[in-house]
Amino acid sequence: QKEVEQDPGPLSVPEGAIVSLNCTYSNSAFQYFMWYRQYSRKGPELLMYTYSSGNKEDGRFTAQVDKSSKYISLFIRDSQPSDSATYLCAMTLSGGYNKLIFGAGTRLAVHP
C-alpha cells in the first residue's frame, strides 16, 4: 500500500463547476499537508499549505484536512479553463525537516 493515495483521473468538468480533489494517507504521523499545481512541462507550484486538521481558504481554493479519517481535499470553486493542470497532494512529518511524500497527482481538465 502506498503511503499516499490519489486518483490520477483524468477529471473533466465544465467551466464554473466546483471541483473536489482528494488524497488519503496511511501514516497518522503526517502533520503538514500541501497541494501543488503543475501545468504541463512546468515545475509544481505551491497552492495551499495547511497544518493538522481544519480548513484553509485562499480565493477560489479551499484545503481541508481530516486527520481522523486520514483524508485531505482541495476544492476549487468557479473552476476556469486556466485551472486545467495536474494537482499533487504532498505531506510530511513534524519535528525537523522530513521528505515530502507526494500523491500520484490528479489531472484536471476544465472545458469552456
Partner 1 sequence: GAVVSQHPSWVICKSGTSVKIECRSLDFQATTMFWYRQFPKQSLMLMATSNEGSKATYEQGVEKDKFLINHASLTLSTLTVTSAHPEDSSFYICSARAIPQGAVKETQYFGPGTRLLVL
In angstroms, the CA 92 to CA 78 distance is 30
Least Å from the CB of residue 57 to partner 1: 13
Which residues contact partner 1 by CB under 8 A?
8, 32, 34, 36, 41-46, 49, 51, 88, 92, 94, 97, 99-100, 102-105, 107
User: Is the Cβ of residue 51 or residue 71 nearer to partner 1 in the bound state?
Assistant: 51
17 or 56: CB nearest partner 1: 56
User: What minimum distance in Å lies between the beta carbon of 104 and partner 1?
Assistant: 5
As a whole number of angstroms, the distance between CA 15 and CA 109 comes to 9
Is the Cβ of residue 18 or residue 29 nearer to partner 1 in the bound state?
29
CB of 65 closer than 8 Å to CB of 52: yes
Bridge partners of 48?
Answer: 35
Rounded to a whole number of angstroms, the minimum distance from the CB of residue 34 to partner 1 is 6
